[in-house]
Amino acid sequence: MGSLFDAAAQSLFATLLPSDCRLCQAPLTRIARLPVCDACLSGITPISGRLCAVCGERIFTPHADAEPVCGECRTTVPPFVRAMAYGSYDGGLRELIHLLKYGRVRPAAGVLGRMLAEVIQGLGSEFQSAVVVPVPLHNRKLRQRGFNQAEEIARAALKKLNRSGLTLKTGVGVLERRRATESQTGLTDHQRQENVRGAFLVTLPKPIRSQDVLLVDDVFTTGATVRECARVLRRAGADRVFVATVARVLKSEVAWAIPEEVEESRALKAYA
């Protein structure tokens, strides 16, 4: 019902407000809050193949284990139980995250939140209830961006899941970033870990004490940030920490080589 009118209205709007897909520049045929075409959205697919059961990195060595663990996690056991991501930080997914963070197209959080919801579903049987904590931004960055993308994505995911037992905790005291740590260029994994040490703190541990925590971020890059957050949360009394991110940098793939601040400055120019 009303499809003729809708079609007419849509084409009228398309004439009035010509808009292109922000990812591939193809003209959009309908008005949507998110200016991204269906082809670009359906091109974003989950990570496939064999992954480390702890950190989610891709594993190439043939192993018979049902739950393979990568060499890095075998050497240094991470402070989180398990980290899972929806997709590889590449192509359309990377652009969609940029659209939210640097293009400040907030409806992108809805789509990214649905992907995060799938990750949380995947972790689902691991915990009955959890305090959901988005990785915080430094205040300066928060003021500059106007919102914390991890928090926006977490909200969208929880709305989609509508599952009891998941409580979002944000704001002062839960987990704070007291030092900006963007400058990770040219650092080795070990140096990155040292660079984030002391960057986060919990000043009001009550909500997380003896609770399982689900740490949420947009991208798992080297894991230095989530490892440090998990360490600080556990030290403040959290029971187990799980990590859910929308995307993960897989070491075998291209985005690995690009430092975050280089990406950011490029992306900000593109969205200027």
Calculate the CA dihedral of residues 255, 260, 266, 271 and round it to 10 degrees. 100
The least distance separating Zn ion from the CB of residue 26, rounded to whole angstroms, comes to 5
Spell out the SS3 assignment of 117-154: HHHHHHHHHHCCCEEEEECCCCHHHHHHHCCCHHHHHH
The least distance separating Zn ion from the CB of residue 13, rounded to whole angstroms, comes to 18
Q: Which is nearer to Zn ion, 36 or 154 (CB)?
A: 36
Q: Which is nearer to Zn ion, 130 or 250 (CB)?
A: 250
Q: Which is nearer to Zn ion, 21 or 232 (CB)?
A: 21
Q: Which is nearer to Zn ion, 80 or 86 (CB)?
A: 80
The least distance separating Zn ion from the CB of residue 119, rounded to whole angstroms, comes to 16
The least distance separating Zn ion from the CB of residue 42, rounded to whole angstroms, comes to 10
The least distance separating Zn ion from the CB of residue 85, rounded to whole angstroms, comes to 12
Nearest to 153 by CA among 200, 220, 207, 82: 220
What span, in angstroms and rounded, lies between the C-alpha atoms of 194 and 189? Answer: 9
Cβ burial 142-176 (10 Å sphere, 16+ → b, else e) = eeeeeebbbbbbbbbbbebbeeeebebbbeeebbb
- What is the contact surface with Zn ion in residues (CB under 5 A)? 21, 23-24, 26, 37, 40, 52, 54-55, 57, 70, 73
Q: Which is nearer to Zn ion, 55 or 130 (CB)?
A: 55
